[in-house]
Chain A
Amino acid sequence: MAETPAQLSRSRDLDKLLLRPGNLIGANFEPGEELRDDIGKYAKVLVLGAGGLGCELLKDLALSGFQNLEVIDMDRIEVTNLNRQFLFRFEDVGKPKAEVAAKRVMERVSGVNIKPHYCRIEDKELDFYSDFSIIVLGLDSIEARSYINAVACSFLEYDSDDNAREETIKPMVDGGTEGFKGHARIILPGVTPCFECTIWLFPPQVKFPLCTLAETPRTAAHCIEYAHLIKWDEVHSGKAFDPDEAEHMKWVYNEAVKRAVLFGIPGVTFSLTQGVVKNIIPAIASTNAIISAACALETLKLASGCSKTLSNYLTYNGAEGLHTKVTEFVRDKDCLVCGPGVLIELETSITLQKFIDLLEEHPKLLLSKASVTHQGNNLYMQAPPVLEEMTRSNLNQVLFDLMGKTAKSILHVTGTTSKNDKKFSTLRKLRVVFKGVDGVTDMDTAGGA
């Protein structure tokens, strides 16, 4: 077998998919060198998380022809990461994950540029996110997924027939793993269900009833949570429990053992104590590799059209035999996040301050400490202090004037909501309609001011 020039190219294998016409392909597939070069030069992909999934994703994407990558991660490397986060070595412990991961991949894959961001995803402005072709999620929390989902959906615009405008769709590819299980999904806001449409797939964590902990413990976890949630406060009046404090953990463990002995319950170990108290999710290299690879492949297919795409949710379970399943979930037409936006009718006289107060009481929003953006302009920002000061004077102004006296427009608001006693950042898109302007009828709606 003679070697042709194609054999000598680093894109030898990828070229077969990107340069040749195919039969089972996506819409808009235009095979050719230009496509390959565009993916390298112009497709900008953002990876969220540089952990178990993120490390794999950066490698997989870099070897799938993407040359412009950015990665956000707020964590530093820990020893317990090393069994799966293969871009990190023991001497990297303590360094920011995003920076080390980006550097390692760039060292090995020439031509790839990865820009690391050592920060929280909430620290970036909307504009930052609008810049990317595709956002890939390697996150481990529901709150972070929920937040970035709202960000991607905030770019979405609908035409007059309530169809999503294609150019405003910000695709997301989301992966998640736990032990031998995982999922990969594609979210095309306005087309496929968004994270919030199918939030029921992520049920809230079970908390043990306090009376069980106090009166009828049955499992080792009950004994541990008794020591952690009840006994600690009884003994250490006022001193908060710190899970990262070795002495605190040891104390909880000892108390849990005592309780377990008292009730004849087996299974309390120090490791389990850490697991229960810190809610540690078991994680292994292979599952992360599988899920990340599926996500990277879908990212390549979304960007190039070189094949059909996953529609729209893949689950993997390797605990008993091997099971993969594709489910086509459907959108929730009334979704607050990926729908056309929450409709709010306002008097033209309302001030920005009054409007912000209203968001707190609005039954669909319940949003406190809101910051408000209109078409990229910050009307009011709660933070950072500089911006707060700059925008404070707007609070007493009339919102209708601040929005350029348009009868209908879109506002983005970010603030805090609470769910299951936990507070988290939320971003919402609002369709604001001012009453009595330009033939807009004075409708009586639940969301009205």
Chain B
Amino acid sequence: MAEPKTKYDRQLRIWGEQGQAALEKASICLLNCGPTGSETLKNLVLGGVGSITVIDGSKVEVGDLGNNFMVDESSVGQSKAKCVCAFLQELNDAVKAKFIEEYPEALIETTPSFFSQFTLVVALREANVMLIFARSYGLTGFVRISLKEHSVIESKPDHFLDDLRLNNPWPELRRFAESIDLDTQDSVAHKHTPYVLILVKMAEQWAKSHGGSLPSTREEKKEFKDLLKAKMVAMDEDNYKEAIEASFKVFAPRGISPDLQQILNDNRAEVDSNSSDFWGDGGCSEGSFIPSGISLLHSNLEFIANQGGGEAPLEGSIPDMTSSTELYVNLQNIYQAKAEADFLSIEQRVCRYRSIEDEFNSPILPELQKYLTDEDYSSVAIGFYILIRAVDRFAANYNSFPGQFDGGMDEDISRLKTTAVGLLSDLGCNGSTLTEDLINEMCRFGASELHAVAAFIGGIASQEVIKLITRQFVPMSGTFVFNGIDHKSQLLSL
């Protein structure tokens, strides 16, 4: 047996032992193990999640061999859940893998006690269960997280926040900057003053002499840079060069961007506390996941409004920069302390997302209309979004998906068109239409699941699950719609 630390080395470098411990505690349930769901679980089993439960009542058909790597010729006629589970177990013996040969829908309907008991156990322990919906359909598909609340403990953006608060320092940073003399005669000290401190001081000086405002016009910005240049006492002062390069951070408006502010305003919608089970009118509810081990909710947005004085929580890490060791280490401590203080106030907060029912029944109309007319994406992704919902409605009405069987294609095309138009009008988009091309393509797909598309969607779903379980990194918001035609996929907030 391999030393787990060695086996997981390449991922421990990303989410650390805490993240790994969270993964190893998580139990994940997969409903329907088609290729999309199977691929999602594969990535999670490799990463070492605690346990998995695969629920699927179907038997392996020959057709499944063409798009699911987890079944092979010997599996035909056997329980799909059993075969997929067996392959997954082979990948990592540290994971507890089990399967239930039953249709999830049937399980919920006929023996709710069993299923709800399972959920309940999770719910009692963790106060929350999270769902991820993942589905592939021809050259399209989607991923949607459905959760009530989630908090990110450590978001680790891989670029340093442009937000070093150079133009809006908190008291500790300001005091530290005040202790530095930019006009020191000591040339070694002069060229080892970190640019962060240079900019904080210079910005403050500027604000004092400009009625509190910072450089904003082109001339003012140039003047500010010239002031920095004038401070240089030698040509080789890398710290001043870095300061000039980073001076745009001083010019940036204080506080959060208007975009973020918009999100903040939009996210006040109330959420139904009973999150939905399935998205769609039955049909293929391929790959729904219920990972447990998730409790708190992402709270950045409310933090900004309440505690941050208009700023997003501070990340705490600073980029490397020319500096003496002592000043750099002190500076790092000051940023770290601020980040920790910000974090403490974050954890109390909860941010709410729109529920999947809300999105389903009453999407945000202006957003929907904006997407439908978005030229950058030629509205393909939103078109697929509408059509994925339309094919489910189609299937409920006609007992099969459009183009699922050869023959009758023309009829299916016109029926799908009518269904899509009806759906759009139900959503409040009267008169909106989708292109004939896209409707034809959707019928051509005929509910097929291509392995490559399933692997892509499954990859995204598993990555989001990892982010949610480790509570590191920021999970996606909205619905990710895959556009397998030219890869102009889109994240929709509806």
Residues on A facing B (Cβ under 8 Å): 1, 4, 6-17, 20-24, 56, 59-60, 63-64, 79-80, 82-84, 86, 89-90, 93, 107-110, 179-181, 184, 216-219, 263-265, 271, 275, 280-290, 292-294, 296-297, 300, 307-311, 314, 318-324, 326
B contact residues around A109 at 8 Å (CB) = 65, 69, 72
Binds A, one of B99-107, B117-125, B451-459: B451-459
CB <8 Å contact, B450 and A82: no
B410 to chain A, nearest CB (A): 12
- Which of B10, B454, B477, B486 contacts A284 (CB under 8 A)? B10
Task: Establish whether residues B452 and A60, one from each chain, have CB atoms under 8 Å apart when the complex forms.
Answer: yes
- Chain B residues positioned under 8 Å from A56 (CB to CB): 455
Q: Which of B63, B68, B399 has the most CB of A within 10 A?
A: B63
**Contacting pair B452 A319 (CB below 8 A):** no
Q: Which 9 A-B pairs have the closest CB atoms?
A: A12-B63, A289-B459, A290-B459, A322-B476, A63-B451, A293-B456, A293-B455, A286-B463, A13-B448
B7 on the interface (CB 8 Å rule)? yes
Query: Contact at A79–B448, with CB atoms within 8 Å?
Result: no
Q: Which residues of B contact A322 (CB under 8 A)?
A: 460, 464, 476, 480, 491
A83/B46 in contact, CB under 8 A: yes
* 7 intermolecular pairs with C-beta atoms under 8 Å apart: A6-B406, A13-B449, A23-B440, A84-B46, A109-B65, A307-B484, A318-B473
Pick the contact of B13 from A10, A181, A280 — CB < 8 Å? A280
Say which one of B108-116, B153-161, B168-176, B249-257 lies at the interface with A: B153-161
Q: Which residues 421-477 of B have a CB within 8 angstroms of A?
A: 436-438, 440-441, 444-446, 448-456, 458-460, 462-464, 466-467, 473-477
Known contacts A13-B67, A282-B10; 12 additional CB pairs below 8 A are A1-B405, A6-B405, A14-B66, A15-B448, A23-B437, A83-B9, A86-B42, A110-B72, A283-B10, A289-B462, A297-B456, A318-B467
- A285 CB to nearest chain B CB (Å): 4
Chain B contacts for A293, CB-based, 8 A: 452-456, 459
Tell me which residues across on chain B come within 8 A of A320, comparing CB atoms: 155, 157, 473-474
Q: How many A-B residue pairs have CB under 8 A?
A: 260
A11: nearest residue on chain B (CB-CB)? Answer: B66
Closest to B330 in A: A264
Chain B neighbourhood of A180, CB < 8 A: 14, 158, 463, 473
Cross-chain contact of A326 among B445, B455, B477, B488 (Cβ < 8 A):
B488
Is A297 touching B406 in the complex (CB atoms < 8 A)? no
Report A324 CB to chain B, min CB distance, Å: 5
Q: Closest Cβ of chain B: how far from A54's Cβ, in Å? A: 14
Q: Which residue of B lies closest to A289 (CB)?
A: B459
B485 within 8 A of A: yes
- In the complex, what distance in Å separates the CA atom of A179 from the CA atom of B155? 14
Interface status of B285 (Cβ within 8 A of chain A): no
Which chain B residues in 1-48 approach chain A with CB under 8 Å?
1-3, 6-14, 39, 42-43, 46-48
Q: Is B329 touching A297 in the complex (CB atoms < 8 A)?
A: no
In the complex, which residue of chain B has the Cβ closest to the Cβ of A178?
A: B158
CA distance A297 to B136 in the complex (A): 13
Contacts of A294 in B (CB 8 A): 452, 456, 487
| Chain B residues with CB under 8 A of A218 | 320-321, 323, 325, 328-329
- Asked if A297 and B453 sit within 8 Å, CB to CB, the answer is yes
Contact yes or no, A318 B460, CB < 8 A: yes
